[in-house]
Amino acid sequence: MNARTQHALKTMKAITQHRYGGLDSLEYATVARPVPARDEVLIRVQGASINAADWLLMQGEPFVARLAFGLRRPKFSTRGRDVAGVIEAVGDNVRSFSVGDEVYAEVDAGSFADYTVAKEKRLAHKPSRLSFAEAASVPIAATTALQGVRGVAKVKPGDTVLINGASGGVGSFAVQLAKAYGAEVTGVCSTANLEFVRSLGADYVIDYTGENFTTGEARYDVIFDLVGNRSLAECRRALTRRGTLVLASGNGGRVLGPIRRMLAAMLLGMFVTQNLRPLAAVASGADLEVLRELIEAGTITPAVDRSYPLAETPEAIRYFVEEHGRGKVTITVTSQNNTKEQHQ
């Protein structure tokens, strides 16, 4: 094996970003392959997916997020957080996974690449009935939905649940999970997505272009707000007296983003009978195992709008932001380095 081949095997293609900005700040580049720490695995990426966080962190907004992700420039130069792939190497302390395992996970950054690393505690085995791209659509969106529906709202049989933003990534999973937990589900979406949300299992759908769910007569035990386009007072009006409002979004400007709305909800919640609960989802391998079981049983199924190759990730993000695709937008990764290795 000559020096050029050895160098090629230590590098990979990735979507990188070295300054905050728009799509023009992204570059399809050759970079060094990551090395797993003792509690991490190296994953040969087969699939990734786009999330709202990718767009916001790419711009460095809200500004408060830069405290964790880099004040002047991105702390992590490779973008992407959802991943599905095959384990290529394991750290010395990894016990539950082995080389060759098919897995999926949420990583801090780096899934828009041929290879990435993930902590063992964030990993789960990939659902066998899903393709890698489909599996990569699950981690952030479905974990957020699960933690909101099961953990925060504690949805139970007979509850009436409204999901504002039912056609998006998190919303499409939230509709299915709320139904799985026995709720009567109402989904709020645009005219174009009414049939799609019905196909997810929603009992009722509301077209927000012609109806405001906060001014109707219906009252809900749980409102899962994934849009943040209604005030706290409006949302409370649509809740039962002891209902729960789960907040996973909000418009708070470029500095604080949704944090301002969530803080206001926590303060107001101290003085009212309704439960006003912000949701800050956390990566969890255990939750991914729960989701894997639900997927294998056919209880929930990812809804993938379209998929793009790794080199076209900027276009995938543009579509996600501007076209508001149904469900998830995924990235299919075919490693050039892997192809070379197969022919050595």
Question: Residue 60 has what pLDDT?
Answer: 81
Q: How many domains is the chain built from?
A: 2
When pLDDT is cut at 50, 70 and 90, the band that residue 201 belongs to is very high
Q: What is the pTM of this model?
A: 0.90
Strand partners, 186: 162, 204
pLDDT(340) > 80: no
Instruction: Provide the domain limits for residue 207.
Output: 141-278
Question: Residue 76 has what pLDDT?
Answer: 85
Across 51-60, average pLDDT: 87
What sections of the chain are H helices per DSSP? Answer: 3-9, 52-59, 66-69, 132-136, 139-146, 169-180, 194-199, 232-237, 253-256, 259-268, 285-296, 313-323, 336-342
Round the average pLDDT of the chain to a whole number and report it. Answer: 91
Q: Is residue 288 part of a domain?
A: no
CA distance 73 to 341: 34
**240 plus 325 within the same structural domain:** no
Q: Which residues are CB-contacts of 113 (< 8 A; sequence separation ≥ 6)?
A: 12, 13, 14, 15, 31, 45, 78, 80, 310, 333
Give how far the C-alpha of residue 159 lies from the chain's centroid of Cα atoms, to the nearest Å: 25
Question: Residue 342 has what pLDDT?
Answer: 34
CA distance 137 to 165: 17
Q: Is residue 94 part of a domain?
A: yes
Strands 275-278 and 40-49: unpaired
**118 plus 225 within the same structural domain:** no
Question: Residue 113 has what pLDDT?
Answer: 98
Quick one: DSSP state of residue 34? P
Given 246, 278, 310, the domain boundary residue is: 278
CA distance 248 to 261: 10
Place of tokens 């149904």: 326
Quick one: DSSP state of residue 78? B
When pLDDT is cut at 50, 70 and 90, the band that residue 277 belongs to is very high
The CA–CA distances, whole Å, from 155 to 2, 110, 187, 208, 282 equal 60, 34, 15, 24, 19
When pLDDT is cut at 50, 70 and 90, the band that residue 9 belongs to is low
Q: Is residue 116 part of a domain?
A: yes
Structure tokens at 325: 């695709």
**242 plus 307 within the same structural domain:** no
Across 40-48, average pLDDT: 98
Q: Is residue 283 part of a domain?
A: no
Across 31-47, average pLDDT: 97
**123 plus 178 within the same structural domain:** no
When pLDDT is cut at 50, 70 and 90, the band that residue 314 belongs to is very high
Element (H, E) at 159: none
**194 plus 223 within the same structural domain:** yes
Question: Residue 177 has what pLDDT?
Answer: 98
Burial of residue 14 (number of CB atoms within 10 Å: 0-12, 13-18, 19+): buried
Burial of residue 256 (number of CB atoms within 10 Å: 0-12, 13-18, 19+): middle
The CA–CA distances, whole Å, from 52 to 56, 197, 286 equal 6, 20, 23
Across 78-84, average pLDDT: 96
The string of DSSP letters for 93-155 reads: T--S--TT-EEEEE-SS--SBSEEEEEGGGEEEPPTTS-HHHHHTSHHHHHHHHIIIIIIS--
Across 103-124, average pLDDT: 97
| Domain CATH for 105 | 3.90.180.10
Question: Residue 251 has what pLDDT?
Answer: 57
**116 plus 162 within the same structural domain:** no
When pLDDT is cut at 50, 70 and 90, the band that residue 69 belongs to is confident
**274 plus 307 within the same structural domain:** no
**52 plus 91 within the same structural domain:** yes
Q: Is residue 296 part of a domain?
A: no
Q: Is residue 291 part of a domain?
A: no
CA distance 333 to 29: 14
pLDDT(96) > 60: yes
- Three-class DSSP category at 254: helix
**159 plus 131 within the same structural domain:** no
Place of tokens 């792939």: 85
**147 plus 127 within the same structural domain:** no
Across 114-130, average pLDDT: 98
**15 plus 134 within the same structural domain:** yes
Each residue's pLDDT tens digit, 170-196:
999 999 999 999 999 999 999 999 999
Across 232-260, average pLDDT: 82
Question: Residue 181 has what pLDDT?
Answer: 98
Q: Is residue 267 part of a domain?
A: yes
The CA–CA distances, whole Å, from 97 to 48, 87, 289 equal 20, 8, 13
| Domain CATH for 229 | 3.40.50.720
The CA–CA distances, whole Å, from 184 to 11, 193, 320 equal 50, 19, 29
**232 plus 245 within the same structural domain:** yes
Across 83-97, average pLDDT: 97
